[in-house]
Amino acid sequence: MVSVSTTKSTFLGAALVTAAMAMPSLQFAYADAPPERGIVSFKYLNYQESQGVVTQPGSSSSGLNAISGASSVAPTGTSGTSGTSSSGSQDRIGVNAYSVMALVPVAGEWSVGTTYTSDSVSGASPTYHSSGLAKMTDLRRAIDLQLTRYFSRGSVSFGTSYSKESDYISRGISLQGSLSTEDKNTTLTLGGSYNNDSINPIIQPSFDEKKQVATGLIGVTRVLTPQDIVQLNFTYSNGKGYYSDPYKLYDNRPRDRNSVTALARWNHHFDDNGTDGTVHLSYRYYSDTFGIRAHTFDAEYVQPLYKGWTATPLLRLYTQNAADFYVSVGAAEVADPTQPTLPPADALYYSEDQRLSAFGAVTLGMKVSKQINKDWLVDVKYEQYEQRGQWSLSGGGDTGLTPFKARSIQVGLSRQF
């Protein structure tokens, strides 16, 4: 069995924790005015992955399969595969993350916001497909700062961020401006960001790589009725540098990755049927030069209840096709999961990373919050995630990959002052 004895991986941290622990100031809303009150929020996230165990007939299942990545790894697919069987599941990557956010109004025209995040990651990660387990552990610390100046019909924000792991450092800056019409029913947003990352995997002490990503955004938000708000954003990203995963066998990816994202959102408030609820719907299309095309649909319903309670069920559907250079599980690996599939001899780029395979995913969740008084708010959120190759709308899911599930529990506490 091919394995790396003990590694620390970097490619989980930022995307998972930033998405899962988004603070109130980062949520979609129609607002372009300085906050009247300051806020301090604390959030805790516990995340755990599990994946099916594939065994050869008559052999032990110990130490064969694992997974890395928070929101994209490999699906089910033992049906129709000869020589392997699925038997139960094993825990894989686990994350404990803490985040503190503060937002303070200054002089009625400014605000200063900052977020500090610390997350510890541990478990086992595959060196190819869902096999070749390598133990991993890491600690990431990240901080960002945002300064915003408000005007009568718009705002300008400048942000900076820094995060560090044992083998990965990311530095970023951003600038965003918005301008509203005189009636403030329509808001145009323009923004840009630049990230400069350093990659130094611990298994290769002399290894020193860089990655730079520049991103631009244009968006428009429109108040259609007193109950309806819509938003449309377009984002273009240009990345250059090291995109391969040094902890995976047979992984060589292009050094350029450009992407286009289109995001449409609609919020509707029900104030004419006695529920006083709000539905949030969104659709996101993503396309990049790796050949990945992805679609995401989000729906959640915010329902106020008795004495400050609020319940928010949510549903997320995701599907993507495989990257152009993804190498599927081969017949030899199906027969013996300890033998990785070799990439084609003439292939310039190749990867057996499950996150680049074709799959579909479903997330179900529920958030419950309680407004204790005018100053204090507490919330708890639970999400259950599952992905399978056969759920990819494009077809072509890799049937040699084992089932994957994940669950997350998040607890938050906010105080206004």
**pLDDT one-digit tens code per residue, 245-258:** 999 999 999 999 99
Question: What does R_g of the chain's alpha carbons equal in angstroms?
Answer: 23
Q: Quote the pTM value.
A: 0.86
The pLDDT, as a whole number, for residue 88 is 62
Phi-psi region of 184 (alpha: psi -120 to 50; beta: other; left: phi over 0): left
Main-chain dihedrals φ then ψ at residue 341, nearest 5 degrees = -80, 130
CA distance 27 to 265: 12
Q: Quote the tokens at residue 281.
A: 């719907």
Mean pLDDT of the 96-119 span: 97
Q: Which residue has the higher pLDDT, 204 or 198?
A: 198
Asked whether residue 226 carries a pLDDT value surpassing 90, the answer given is yes
Q: Which residue has the higher pLDDT, 396 or 383?
A: 383
Condensed to tens digits (0 to 9), the pLDDT of residues 8-63 reads: 443 333 344 444 444 433 333 345 788 999 999 999 999 999 987 655 444 433 33
CA distance 154 to 352: 47
Nearest to 397 by CA among 335, 362, 354: 354
What amino acid occupies position 354? Q
**Percentage above 70 pLDDT, the chain:** 84
Q: Quote the tokens at residue 129.
A: 């497909």
Across all residues in the chain, what is the average pLDDT?
86
Mean pLDDT of the 199-227 span: 93
The pLDDT, as a whole number, for residue 91 is 83
The burial of 37, by beta-carbon neighbours within 10 Å (0-12 exposed, 13-18 middle, 19 or more buried), is given as: exposed
Asked whether residue 229 carries a pLDDT value surpassing 60, the answer given is yes
Condensed to tens digits (0 to 9), the pLDDT of residues 110-135 reads: 999 999 999 999 999 889 988 888 89
Instruction: Identify whether the C-beta of residue 379 lies closer than 8 Å to the C-beta of residue 4.
Output: no
Q: Quote the tokens at residue 95.
A: 């994350």
The pLDDT, as a whole number, for residue 3 is 36
- Which residues are paired to 61 by β-bridges? none
CA distance 196 to 203: 22
Query: Per the CATH hierarchy, to which homologous superfamily does domain 6-416 belong?
Result: monomeric porin ompg (2.40.160.40)
